[in-house]
Amino acid sequence: MSTDIKSLGSFAWSIAELLRGDFKQSEYGKVILPFVVLRRLDCILEATKSTVLDMANSLPDDIDDEARDALLFGVTGRDIGLYNLSRFTFASLKGQDAKDIHKNLVDYITKFSGNVRDIFLDKFLFTDQLKRLNDAGLLYQVFDRFTQIDLHPDAISNLEMGYLFEDLIRRFSEISNETAGEHYTPREVIRLIVSLLLVNDKDALTGAGVIRQVYDPAAGTGGMLSIAEMEMKALNDRVRVELFGQELNPESFAICKSDMLVTGHNPENIAFGNTLTQDAHAKKRFHYMLSNPPYGVDWKKYADPIKEEAETQGKNGRFGAGLPRISDGQLLFLQHMISKMRNDEQGSRIGIVMNGSPLFTGGAGSGESEIRRWMLENDWVEAIIALPTDLFYNTGIQTYVWLLTNRKDSARRGKVQLIDASGERFWKSMRKSLGSKRREIPPEACDEIARIYHDMLNGNEGWEDVSKIFATTDFGYREIRVERPLKLRFRVTPEGLDALSETRPFQNLDAEKQSLLMELLPDVLGGSDYMDRARFEKDLKKVQKFAGFNLGAPLTKAILSALSERDEAAQVCTDKNGNPEPDTDLRDHELVPLNEDWRAYVQREVLPFVPDAWVDETYTDAHDGGVGRVGYEINFNRYFYKYVPPRPLEEIDAELKSLEAEIAGLLREVVE
């Protein structure tokens, strides 16, 4: 950022001194940012003001809004569509009576074209801030300070305006850090993601006539979009970058759309609303997509339309691969982004930052596992980078950058690169913490991470604990069901009879039958243990004969359950076909690596320890029909775990004795 832009940003922010006392710190941006946008638009439209008013006055009263907008947009001479029909400009407002400034500013704002008026009135709620300023006697002072800033495109280019707006947003977010993390991603994190997205595309971005479309489905204040454009322009100042996004939070949307206005982009490409339920760019496909969706935020309140789309559209919709648990919607955003990949020679690249949950949450067959399976089996995942903790304003948790593409280089096909950039070599402590943000990634570390990714380092010398490359199938497994035979010993005991008396089938008997059964069971079956269920069931028929009534299946089952207990010495219980019955309490599941035959795995890992076990071959995968359910997980700790031996006991003991001596010395000083 140039010194002039920094100075201009400091000057604009110095206006906050006027607000001190009447506004909270977290509210400064609600005044300053809209005023900056207003001043920029005033500078842009001032030269054509009279021409626009003349044209508007000449139009027939019955002309429709769309036709009026088209004609007036053309008069402004701008590629984007906006105009203002107020008789005022900042210059003429300054010449008015100061006591009328509130009324005149409201007139000025409400006479913008609808696309701009919506930003100020409905999203920024700027008229509310103007009233607060007016009531506090500050409105004219603040307005007058902004008239001193020249934001005309001839003085400050669109690129420089982007820098200025970014600087102001950063300052606003830093002093509002209790909520900044929800709508603001630290700039060094965005620059890292953009560097990773572009590092393999530098050649493709050079030359004339290059057009690239960039999209963020959770755009926030637009930082990811603006920095993506800046980095692409740095590679090629002739590249045409078209920015698209959608945002749910009204104030963040207003800032993002304003950023598009003041930097010369089409503000209509930024949509307001819930991306997951109301896709505003349903027909669009993009070259680059990047996002920092909310972590661990449930989607229960808008689950119905998402579930309906998943059920009715399947793989033809956005969520056909699966639905994550209701408590976390990160993987919904990722699926949405994948649905917008371009199916052409250029393809698309995606960079998304998420917490650890999408890596491993959910077992085989779960929504999360099926989504991971879908991505890996389609070979879209290129790399995953573990970031340092304490990077974000509202959370200190571990985060990860996922990189995906549908146009992998031949060297990367069938492979995924894992980079552990969480170590001390990749971050430095901040001089002053901002909420939970205590660390930052310096530019040299960002460049190093991008180089590791670009060079596909795979445990190379010096990088053994940082970068490793795996086959996509290395993350897959088959969850097979291992059964053990049911072995029961039967005996009539007081405790067993008490348990039987509590069952519903027994209580459904009348009192006479209950009493008779309680007498017959110990008389006929008591006195010995039955180690064979078949023999016990045979003798139980004698009880039924002596009782004179049919015990029935429910009561028979209740008797067998109440009077039995597991015993390894007992005979195996079998079904009517003579096959052993499984003991559900001993049922286990083994995770067999996807690249290994499950039979060989069981022979090696299971049968030597439980020779009577077998695999339930009816427990199969819904997609490939193979034995066991296929699952995928990516466990960073497993691949980058580094054993640290405990300190020797002698060393710990010596340290404790030293501390005891020190404490004793301090106590003596207190006593003396």
pLDDT at 480: 97
Q: Is 60 helix (H, G, I), strand (E, B) or coil?
A: coil
Asked whether the beta carbons of 497 and 523 are under 8 A apart, the reply is no
pLDDT above 60: residue 421: yes
* pLDDT band at residue 559 using 50, 70 and 90 as cut-offs: very high
* pLDDT band at residue 328 using 50, 70 and 90 as cut-offs: very high
What tokens does 381 get? 């995942």
Rounded-to-integer distance, Cα 112 and Cα 118, Å: 9
pLDDT above 60: residue 3: no
260 vs 182, more confident: 260
Domain membership of residue 234 (yes or no) is: no
Domain membership of residue 116 (yes or no) is: yes
Domain membership of residue 91 (yes or no) is: yes
CA dihedral 501, 505, 511, 512 (to 10 degrees): -110
pLDDT tens-digit readout, 574-627: 998 999 999 999 999 999 999 999 999 999 999 999 999 999 999 999 999 999
Asked whether the beta carbons of 81 and 115 are under 8 A apart, the reply is yes
CA-wise closest residue to 276 among 258, 294, 288: 294
pLDDT above 70: residue 114: yes
- Count of domains for the chain: 2
666 vs 135, more confident: 135
pLDDT above 80: residue 524: yes
Average per-residue pLDDT for the chain: 90
Query: Which of 51-60, 74-83, 279-288, 624-633 bottoms out in mean pLDDT, i.e. has the lowest?
Result: 74-83
* Contacts of residue 590, Cβ cutoff 8 Å, sequence gap at least 6: 479, 480, 482, 601, 602, 605, 606
Rounded-to-integer distance, Cα 428 and Cα 439, Å: 6
What is the mean predicted confidence (pLDDT) over 512-521?
94
Cβ neighbours, 10 Å, residue 276:
24
pLDDT above 90: residue 570: yes
Domain membership of residue 430 (yes or no) is: no
Rounded-to-integer distance, Cα 439 and Cα 388, Å: 8
pLDDT at 651: 86
pLDDT above 80: residue 209: yes
Task: Kindly tell me the burial class for residue 156, based on how many C-beta atoms sit within 10 Å of its own C-beta (0-12, 13-18, 19 or more).
Answer: buried
Domain membership of residue 518 (yes or no) is: yes
What φ, ψ does residue 241 adopt, rounded to 5°? -110, 120
Query: Which of 147-161, 280-294, 320-334, 583-597 bottoms out in mean pLDDT, i.e. has the lowest?
Result: 147-161
| Domain end residue (candidates: 121, 141, 156) | 156
Domain membership of residue 102 (yes or no) is: yes
Domain holding 514, by residue range, is 488-566
| Domain end residue (candidates: 156, 185, 216) | 156
* pLDDT band at residue 181 using 50, 70 and 90 as cut-offs: very low
Q: Identify the bridge partners of residue 614 per DSSP, sorted by sequence position.
A: 483
Rounded-to-integer distance, Cα 444 and Cα 433, Å: 21
590 vs 12, more confident: 590
pLDDT tens-digit readout, 211-223: 999 999 999 888 8
* pLDDT band at residue 21 using 50, 70 and 90 as cut-offs: confident
Angle between helices 223-235 and 187-198 (to 10 degrees): 50
Rounded-to-integer distance, Cα 36 and Cα 9, Å: 10
pLDDT above 70: residue 176: no
| Domain end residue (candidates: 156, 176, 193) | 156
pLDDT tens-digit readout, 369-395: 999 999 999 999 999 999 999 988 777
pLDDT at 340: 97
Domain membership of residue 502 (yes or no) is: yes
C-alpha pair distances (Å), 233 with each of 30, 158, 169, 208 = 30, 12, 21, 12
Q: What percent of the chain has pLDDT over 90?
A: 64
pLDDT tens-digit readout, 456-481: 999 776 777 899 999 999 999 999 99
Cβ neighbours, 10 Å, residue 162:
26
Query: Which of 281-295, 334-348, 386-400, 500-514 bottoms out in mean pLDDT, i.e. has the lowest?
Result: 386-400
* pLDDT band at residue 321 using 50, 70 and 90 as cut-offs: very high
pLDDT at 179: 45
Rounded-to-integer distance, Cα 590 and Cα 479, Å: 6
* pLDDT band at residue 78 using 50, 70 and 90 as cut-offs: low
Rounded-to-integer distance, Cα 666 and Cα 669, Å: 5
Domain membership of residue 136 (yes or no) is: yes
What is the mean predicted confidence (pLDDT) over 169-179?
63
pLDDT above 80: residue 136: yes
pLDDT above 70: residue 24: yes
* pLDDT band at residue 507 using 50, 70 and 90 as cut-offs: very high
Q: How far is CA 3 from the centre of its chain?
A: 36
Rounded-to-integer distance, Cα 571 and Cα 485, Å: 9
What tokens does 473 get? 């199938």
DSSP for 299-324 reads -GGGHHHHHHHHHHHGGGSSSTT---
pLDDT at 1: 46
